[in-house]
């Protein structure tokens, strides 16, 4: 059986790489296709996991729109799938690459497997366009690999047949285990900052760009100035994000601004942080493994398990709510907990399901 794995962004590589490596480790025939939706940040990750794409569609252009991404992926992916004739296509998550690849495979009658199926915020415009992407992907798939029981329940409520849904955990925990077994986090972190106890911040969501992002940053500036804290902030490549950061933060000495870092260095920053402020989805899954509390600067989250486990707070995006959430987070101490998103055996479960092994 030829298994095809398609990815185009940094988060996709992180979460699909453990499955690729597990299949390769069992001498399965694999085909890897990179769309390069996010060129530089994707390239960082394929190097970390030593994955060399068999095909690179190289679709990224400056100021690309979502429709441009869809059209380029569809145009360049179809001839590869027609030529290679895979028996199954794996996509991960909720990116425009994942949506378009699943649609392209469906049009060619190739079965699709969705890693991280069933996540829902129940607001089509938050996160945008991810909420719609993941719903459309799930409609077309033969295998829906849900990370949690909550994700499975979401799918069942939408009328998805139960025999297509498999609760397997989240592959990001597999990735963390692969990395932590062989990396000295402290040494890596000292290459970037020779201290710990800072707040780790990431901001990039499309729906937050503009006044919402300015409010989040302003609340953070007030909080850290009052508490003598530093913020380590790898700034996303998006020019609109960078413009806002430059405008609001400027040369504020409480902020350590860096270029986006590779995944290993990012995890080392997470390891040394006091807590995390983010609008990212993936960090909500990774932080519990490092015993870090998360302030989620969004109106909704498709990962409510984090909040329900007492490991995070949904802060919204206004100055007042973010400021109050930061004060709450500063008081929190996360003791040992099991990560609600997985146990590190997700890739194994996916492999066995595809192979029909129910033991």
Q: Exposed (0-12), middle (13-18) or buried (19+): which is 162, by Cβ within 10 Å?
A: exposed
- Number of Cβ within 10 Å of residue 68's Cβ equals 14
SS3 for 91? strand
- Find the catalytic residue in 94, 286, 302, 305: 94
Residue with tokens 């798939």: 141
Residue 286 annotated as catalytic: no
Q: How far is CA 134 from the centre of its chain?
A: 13
Residue 191 annotated as catalytic: no
Question: What's the full length of the chain, in residues?
Answer: 359
Q: From CA 37, how far away is CA 96, in angstroms rounded? A: 8
- Find the catalytic residue in 12, 126, 130, 305: 130
Residue 345 annotated as catalytic: no
- Find the catalytic residue in 120, 189, 236, 303: 236
- Find the catalytic residue in 39, 114, 204, 265: 204
3-state helix, strand, coil in the chain (%, to 5): 50, 15, 40
Residue 204 annotated as catalytic: yes
Give the bridge partners for 199, in sequence order. 231, 275
- Find the catalytic residue in 206, 262, 324, 345: 206
Residue 130 annotated as catalytic: yes
Which stretches does DSSP call E strand in the chain?
Answer: 2-7, 29-34, 55-56, 88-92, 112-115, 143-146, 165-167, 199-202, 231-234, 255-258, 275-278, 294-296, 312-314
Kindly state the tokens that stand for 109: 């009658």
- Number of Cβ within 10 Å of residue 318's Cβ equals 16
- Find the catalytic residue in 12, 72, 114, 116: 116
Gyration radius from the chain CA atoms: 20
- Number of Cβ within 10 Å of residue 253's Cβ equals 7
Residue 182 annotated as catalytic: no
Name the residue among 3, 1, 153 with its Cα closest to residue 91.
Answer: 3
Q: Which residues are catalytic?
A: 94, 116, 130, 204, 206, 236
């Amino acid at each position: 059986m030829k298994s095809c794995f398609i990815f185009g962004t940094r988060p996709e590589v992180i979460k699909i790489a453990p499955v690729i490596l597990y299949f390769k480790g069992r001498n399965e025939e694999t085909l890897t296709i990179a769309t390069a939706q996010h060129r530089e940040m994707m390239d960082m990750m394929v190097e970390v996991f030593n994955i060399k794409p068999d095909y690179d569609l190289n679709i990224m252009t400056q100021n690309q729109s979502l429709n441009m991404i869809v059209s380029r992926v569809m145009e360049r992916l179809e001839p590869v799938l027609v030529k290679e004739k895979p028996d199954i296509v794996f996509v991960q998550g909720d990116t425009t690459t994942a949506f378009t690849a699943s649609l392209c495979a469906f049009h060619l009658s190739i079965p699709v497997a969705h890693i991280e199926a069933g996540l829902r915020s129940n607001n089509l415009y938050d996160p945008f366009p991810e909420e719609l992407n993941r719903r459309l992907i799930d409609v077309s798939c033969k295998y829906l690999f849900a990370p949690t029981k909550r994700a499975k329940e979401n799918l069942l409520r939408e009328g998805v047949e139960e025999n297509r849904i498999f609760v397997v955990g989240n592959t990001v925990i597999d990735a963390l285990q692969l990395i932590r077994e062989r990396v000295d986090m402290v040494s890596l972190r000292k290459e970037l900052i020779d201290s710990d106890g800072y707040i780790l911040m990431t901001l990039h969501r499309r729906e937050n760009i503009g006044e919402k992002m300015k409010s989040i940053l302003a609340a953070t500036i007030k909080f850290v100035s009052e508490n003598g804290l530093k913020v380590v902030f790898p700034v996303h490549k998006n020019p609109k994000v960078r413009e806002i950061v430059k405008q609001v933060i400027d040369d504020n000495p409480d902020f350590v601004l860096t270029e986006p870092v590779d995944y290993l260095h990012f995890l080392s920053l997470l390891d040394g942080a006091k807590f995390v402020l983010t609008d990212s989805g993936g960090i909500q899954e990774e932080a519990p493994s490092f015993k870090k509390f998360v302030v989620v600067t969004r109106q909704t989250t498709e990962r409510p398990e984090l909040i329900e486990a007492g490991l995070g707070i949904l802060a919204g995006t206004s100055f007042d709510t973010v400021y109050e959430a930061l004060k709450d987070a500063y008081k929190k101490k996360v003791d040992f907990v099991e990560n609600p998103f997985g146990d590190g055996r997700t890739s194994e479960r996916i492999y066995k399901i595809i192979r029909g092994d129910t033991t």
